[in-house]
Every structure is written in structure tokens, then in C-alpha cells.
A and B are shown apart, each in its own frame.
Chain A
Amino acid sequence: MKKIETSSKISLLNLPESTLDVILELLSPIELINMSKVCTYLRGKCRSDHLWDNHMKHKWGRVFGHFAFKEWQWHVTIITKEEGSVLNQQINILNGSLGSFSGSWPMLCVGSYLEECHNFKSLLLANHFMMALYLSLESGKFWFPAQLYRGLYVHDALVSYNSITDTFRARTRSWNGRIVGNDIHWDKLRFSPVETSSCVRHVSDCFQELKPGDHIEIQWRGNTQAPYDWWYAVIGHLDSCNENENYCLCQNSETLVVEFKQYPQRSSMRKAKLTRHTEDSAGNYGGIRKLHSQEEIQKWNELLDHQRYI
């Protein structure tokens, strides 16, 4: 009976790297970490940014966006600076790394927070950025900026993952860092589409082009001491307009009508009239973001429908 060649004679490590890569790309994050304990060669292969970038996109793509990534880069800079540098001292005081700041006292916002950041130092010094990022998220040590869906608005928060329950905790981005949610499910979160934090009025670049029918999100706050939330709305017609598409001149008006469809037509809450070109930051309304993605618009409409049936 013929015996198959035993493993010791054929080392898989003698294969071209691309062949080994095929197997490594199929491994889960836990297994990649396990695999990196096998030998120094595999440790190097299993920590490559390419492999961990795949896992980042796959698991975290929907909630961890471009601006959260910028926060991460900020922490990387702080952590990898030499001992004794000014930036490094920040870590000694708090045992964690504070991200970027925005707003002004007393409405100060923190961009992110990385607990026990010394854990990541050796990985970062070895340039394994994506792996360190993935682990910082998975372990819950990285409080990163994201937005929480709450009924018909989203709230800016810092969120931290709990791998045991597969849910998130959230803190407000304001300086007090109060907990604003526990056991938050993945589908209640999305990545921050703008860099603007909740403490600052968003600088809108779309005022000129907004016309009836456009889908938007608009900042709103209860008072000047509260952070902004983002509310979904649609640009509406002026009262004077008969809403005939061909004769509508609403786009040219200095008045912008913002319509909140969750209120009945006759309700005074339904429409807000704002001045198109103003950076007035004293009022309760803030900046506007025009929605382009069908996916975002559809999500809001689903939430609207859900609201109506309550």
C-alpha cells in the first residue's frame, strides 16, 4: 500500500509567497494571531497590513469611516513618538491617548480616545498599522467617532465595541464623556460622513444648489449649550409656490424650506424656514449635508415608515 509523503518532507513554506498568501487570506483574525506564534517568518506574514486591511473592511467597514481613521492616525503619531516628547507626556497623565479636539469651551468635543495605548506600541513601531487598529477596535480600547440612529435623527458619539456581546457602548463626544448608550447593535450605527463634530456648526457647501425634493440632514440642537444632532429632512416648496415642477422658482429664493416628514402636514413642526446663506450659529439649526446616496435615503425612509406605524 502506497504511503503518502509525510509532512516533514514537504514544507509549505518552500512554496512561492503568493501560494501561501492564498491560504492566509482565508484565515480569521484569531487564527492569524495564532499563526503568528508558529515561527518568525509566519509572524511577519500574518501581521501584514494587506491581510488585516481585508478584515477591517469586512467587519468594520460600515461603522468605521475615513474620519475615524484620521483619529487613529493621530494616535499612531502620539504613541510612536519618542519617550519624553511633549506629545508622549499626554499619555502618562491619562494612561490613554486623547484624540483631536474641536469646538470651544464649554462646548468642547473629543474626537476619540484610545485606552491603554501602550499595548499597541510595539505593533505600531513595527509598522503593523492595520493589525493594531483591528485589535484596538475588537478589544474595545478604541473609542472611535460614529453616529447612532435614534428615531429620525443621528447622534454623534464615541463608541467602543464589546466582543463578548457583539454590541457597542456609546459616550457623548462632549467633554464630560457621559455614557449615552449600552448594548447598541451594529445596525444602529453608521460611520461619520463628515468631520464636523457635534460641538461645531457644520460648514455647508450645498446651500446654493438645494432645491425642493432634495434629501438632507440638518444639524439641530435644543439650546446653545447642547451638542448638535443630525435630523433627516427634505427640502420643501415655499408657501407661495404651487409646487409645479416647471414653474417652481424656490431654488432662487433666499428662504430655504426644510420639511420634516414625520409631522403631519398641518403641524407647525413640519416646515422650518431658514435663510439660505447664513452662518448664524446662535439659532438652534446648524449646517446642512445633502444626501446623495440612495442607500442613506432609503434607510431614512424605512425609519420614517416605522415611525408612522407606531
Chain B
Amino acid sequence: MAQEASSSTSSKTISLKTGDGEIFEIEASAAKQMKTVQRLIDDLGDDITIPLHNVFSKELPKIIEYYKKDITGEITKDFEAEFVKDLNDDEVKVLFLAANYLDANKLFEFLSQNIADRLESKSVEYVRKYFGVENDFTPEEESKLREERAWSFRGIKEDE
């Protein structure tokens, strides 16, 4: 059973090892926000380097940056906007999947909203690539879908 000395826990750092072998440090209080990490700490102890097989060195620093802000209560709309501003759709997706794996709820919800926002104006073909799926409709089914949209939302232009 890990010791719960509150004052010493808050300044303690945890070592995380990514799937591609790099090591990063985070504060124990930030680690608490990622339930998967916390579970691993509970099982393995907080002195050992925690292995994260499905998270890589490209995205983990971003995640750590987010939670650094979170534990000091500094997450604002401006910060979140800035956080995703320079990320392309793929990078956001990778972060989203990592947040899901780490069970990092706050980041997960924020990124879900960001993905939903990004999807709002994209074409069907783009969304297919994004989700990694094939078009499995018959031509008849496709034209039926186009018709549906045309009459149901008057005044909204039909896209290609």
C-alpha cells in the first residue's frame, strides 16, 4: 500500500517511460489526474519508472504541459485555445487517443470537443480518412442520403 504522506506526495515526481523508450518526469499530483497512471503507481509503487506502452515521446510532453497548468488551476479558455492552435487534425487525434488510454478525463473531454469542432466543416471524404474507414455504401444508398439532407435543412447549401 503506497504511503499517503500528503505534504511529501505533492512535491514528489513520478518517472514515465514512453513506448519509444524516453523518460519524462511529472508531479505526483498531476499523475493523479491520469487514472491509468495512478493505477500503475498503486500497483508498482511510486519509485519505479512507470511504463506507458501506448504513449509516445511526441505527445507525452504536451499532455504533461496540460496537467502542469491544471494542478495550478490555470486552465482557461485562452490557454486551451492556444494549446490546440498549432496542432493539426492528426496531432489532435493522437493526443485524444493518448488521453483516452491514460484515462485523463479533463484533457479527454476538452479534446473531444475540439475534434467535434474540427469535424463540423469537413467533407465526408475527409472524415473517412480521419476515422480510417472505407465507404461501404451502395450508390443507391448514397443518393438516398443526399436527398435526405437536401429537403430536411432548407437554406443550407448542399456540399459536394
Contact A164 B154 (CB under 8 A): yes
Contact B132 A163 (CB under 8 A): no
B86 at the interface (CB under 8 A from A): no
Contact B137 A40 (CB under 8 A): yes
A2 interface neighbour in B57, B137, B149, B155, Cβ under 8 Å: B57
Contact A6 B137 (CB under 8 A): no
CA distance A21 to B100 in the complex (A): 13
Task: Determine, out of B42-50, B76-84, B91-99, the stretch whose residues face the partner at the interface.
Answer: B91-99
A7 interface neighbour in B20, B90, B134, B148, Cβ under 8 Å: B90
Interface of B is mostly: helix
Can you list, as one digit per residue, whether each of B45-64 has a CB less than 8 Å from chain A (1) or not (0)? Answer: 00000000000111100000
Contact B153 A15 (CB under 8 A): no
CA distance A123 to B149 in the complex (A): 13
Residue of B nearest to A140 (CB): B154
A26 at the interface (CB under 8 A from B): yes
| Contact A34 B93, CB 8 Å, known A23-B115, A39-B135 | no
B33 at the interface (CB under 8 A from A): no
CA distance A39 to B132 in the complex (A): 11
Contact B155 A4 (CB under 8 A): no
Residue of B nearest to A123 (CB): B148
Contact A33 B149 (CB under 8 A): yes
Residues of A within 8 A of B23 (CB): none
Give residues in A with beta carbon < 8 Å to B.
Answer: 2, 4-13, 15, 19, 22-23, 26-28, 30-31, 33-43, 119, 122-123, 135, 138-140, 162-164
Give residues in B with beta carbon < 8 Å to A.
Answer: 20, 56-59, 90-91, 93-94, 97, 100, 108-109, 112-113, 115-116, 119-120, 124, 127-137, 141-142, 144-146, 148-149, 151-156, 159
